[in-house]
């Protein structure tokens, strides 16, 4: 009995330590899988937004051509059509509304960066995340909610412009709904990416560069100044 060694208490694993550690590993793995799935959804939204945003930019050219053509016809032939005038409104409206999500993805919406630009990047991410969650998403979701019956009633009634020879109205109203719907999807995508960046799951896709930041200019000798 005297020669028998008693194992030190420190060498014995605490009761419940291994199950807790295993549970934490499983939870972390689950969170990683969830974030991976969310980032996959975000990439799909970004891809669709990119295609739509670049495509609708051509509508500006079409609107300019329609406007110029309408002006020429009015001056040369002394005639015009309200349909052509309203078509310009539709084209400009489509370019503005359908490109809003693309502008958000590029982080190009107008902001006052007097204070924002001097803050650390992580604080900027928190500001963006809170702004998206508390201001952007409630607004766009409310607009989608209100515009669904608005567009539906216009479509079912076959609403037409009150101007003589004008166009049907519901496509223009549908553009509003489509624009806010795309903006809502892109807002969700931006929230996912902000969380992923702050967790360290991905690099910052849109690093903030203030407009007054100095540019590196290559001199003939190859030195930057």
In this prediction, residue 212 carries a pLDDT of 46
Question: CB under 8 Å to 191, separation ≥6 — which residues?
Answer: 129, 132, 133, 137
In this prediction, residue 17 carries a pLDDT of 64
Both tokens of 194, joined, read 């902000």
Q: Which of 224, 140, 116 is nearest to 190 (CA)?
A: 140
Any idea how long the chain is?
225
**What dihedral angle (degrees, nearest 10) is formed by the CA atoms of 27, 28, 30, 36?**
160
Residue spans per domain, the chain: 34-109+119-199
In this prediction, residue 111 carries a pLDDT of 74
Site of tokens 């007054």: 212
Q: Which of 208, 49, 34, 40 is nearest to 128 (CA)?
A: 208
- Is the pTM value of this prediction over 0.85? no
Three-class HEC string of 146-174: HHHHHHHHHHHHCCECCCCCCCECHHHHH
In this prediction, residue 205 carries a pLDDT of 79
Asked if 102 and 53 count as a contact pair (C-beta separation under 8 A), the reply is yes
In this prediction, residue 119 carries a pLDDT of 85
Cα-flanking dihedrals φ and ψ of residue 29, to 5°? -65, -40
Ordered per-residue pLDDT tens for the chain, 225 residues: 455 555 554 555 555 566 777 777 777 777 778 888 999 999 999 999 999 999 998 998 998 998 888 888 888 887 777 888 888 889 999 999 999 999 999 888 877 777 887 888 888 889 999 999 999 999 999 999 999 999 999 999 988 888 777 788 999 899 999 999 999 999 999 999 999 998 888 888 776 655 544 545 454 555 544
């Amino acid at each position: 009995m005297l020669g028998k060694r008693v194992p030190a208490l420190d060498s014995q694993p605490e009761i419940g330590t291994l199950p807790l550690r295993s549970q934490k590993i499983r939870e972390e793995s689950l969170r990683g899988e969830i974030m991976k799935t969310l980032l996959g959804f975000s990439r799909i939204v970004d891809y669709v937004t990119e295609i739509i945003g670049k495509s609708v930019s051509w509508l500006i050219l079409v609107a300019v051509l329609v406007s110029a053509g309408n002006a020429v016809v009015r001056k040369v032939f002394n005639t015009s059509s309200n349909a052509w005038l309203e078509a310009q409104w539709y084209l400009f409206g489509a370019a503005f509304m359908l490109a809003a999500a693309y502008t958000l993805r590029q982080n190009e919406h107008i902001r006052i960066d007097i204070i924002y630009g001097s803050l650390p990047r992580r604080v900027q991410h928190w500001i963006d995340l809170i702004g998206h969650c508390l201001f952007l998403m409630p607004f766009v979701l409310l607009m989608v909610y209100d515009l669904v019956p608005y567009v539906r009633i216009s479509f079912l009634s076959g609403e037409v412009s009150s101007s003589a020879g004008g166009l049907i109205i519901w496509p223009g109203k549908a553009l509003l709904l489509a624009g806010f719907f795309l903006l809502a999807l892109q807002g969700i995508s931006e929230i996912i990416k902000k969380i992923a960046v702050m967790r360290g799951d991905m690099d910052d896709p849109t690093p903030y560069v203030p407009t007054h930041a100095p540019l590196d200019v290559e001199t003939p000798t190859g030195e930057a100044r």
